[in-house]
Amino acid sequence: MKTVIVGAGSIGTFLAASMVRGGADIIILDLPEVAENLNKEYIEIKTFSGDSFKVKLKATDDPKSLKEVDLIIVSVKTFHTEAAVSAISHLKDRVQAILSIQNGVDNGLVLERYFGKDKIIGACCLEAASRIDERTFMHTMSEGTYIGELDGSITPRVESAVKLFKDAGLKAEASSQVVSAIWCKWINFAAGAAVCGLTRLPYHKALLNPHSANLIAQIYREYAELSKASGVVLNDYPGFEVKTISQASPEDAIKLLQQRGKDLEEKGATKVMASLARDLIAGRPTERESIFGFAVREGEAKNLPMTFTKYVYALTTAIEQNLK
């Protein structure tokens, strides 16, 4: 399966490296300076356990050079989705499928506009990585990837995509509830990004503190109400029990989140922080529109207050605007 990964950020590069190591035919599409750097030398992937591997990647900065492609994996920041997907729209009739492993739930609207709904398969990727330097990346989380058709069916192209991940040594499964998984990932990311971005605490400390844990739980509840109004049923997944926490009492929700923080601390995952929070702290553009803004606008359309999310959206917008 010839695959294009659009975007060589931390997770895009990690997936490309893992898939190449597993024998896949992968090419990365990114900006000229990024593609040039990737084509020069080996990329090294490290893990918390001390393991590491090096691979040589192929990259291009020319979308038009991409002709025979089976699968497209979109891995750019959400504010780059429109430009990235429009640049490869000439592949619409050539690919079997396009999927997004991005944060948020609104990226599918862009994919549908350029490729049509029939080309999209859903994916919820629960892998995480961070950049150590230009050539070295740390694999920070591995909770698997869920892939499925948006209508809940399991098709040959879904099974092929799952095999691509599994051959890379990554956990993956075909899912009849992939839309739920995508929403749950969005909810968990939004809550963690909100608290880590505003407090500058690493994720495990935000979970351990009862005040910040309470805010995380409140955001869970607001997004859960939005999912219900949107006809999306939530479930629990390893590392983010969205259904259980959103339905729990405030006291029980805090206890569950604090236990998650303790588990992360015991694993040595003490530097984990949502990418939006890292970007906010570093003064870089953030994905706040897809993560918070979209929720606020959808909530307004469905007459939901989204009170805590509105405050988070306003505060992260003010911080980002004043860091420019």
- The domain locations on the chain are 2-176, 180-323
Looking at domain 180-323, does it have CATH number 1.10.1040.10? yes
| Crossing angle of helices 307-323 and 294-301, rounded to 10° | 140
101/16 Cα distance (integer angstroms): 13
DSSP calls for 113-170: HHH-GGGB-EEEEEEEEEEEETTEEEEEEEEEEEEE-TTS---HHHHHHHHHHHHTT-
92/67 Cα distance (integer angstroms): 11
280/321 Cα distance (integer angstroms): 10
Q: Are 187 and 150 in contact (CB under 8 A)?
A: no
Q: Are 225 and 217 in contact (CB under 8 A)?
A: no
What was the pLDDT predicted at 267? 86
How confident is the model over 130-158, as pLDDT tens digits? Answer: 899 989 999 988 899 999 999 999 999 99
How confident is the model over 260-274, as pLDDT tens digits? Answer: 999 999 988 888 888
Fold of 2-176: Rossmann fold (3.40.50)
Residue 269 burial by Cβ neighbours in a 10 Å radius (0-12, 13-18, 19+): middle
Tell me the whole-structure pTM to 2 decimals.
Answer: 0.95
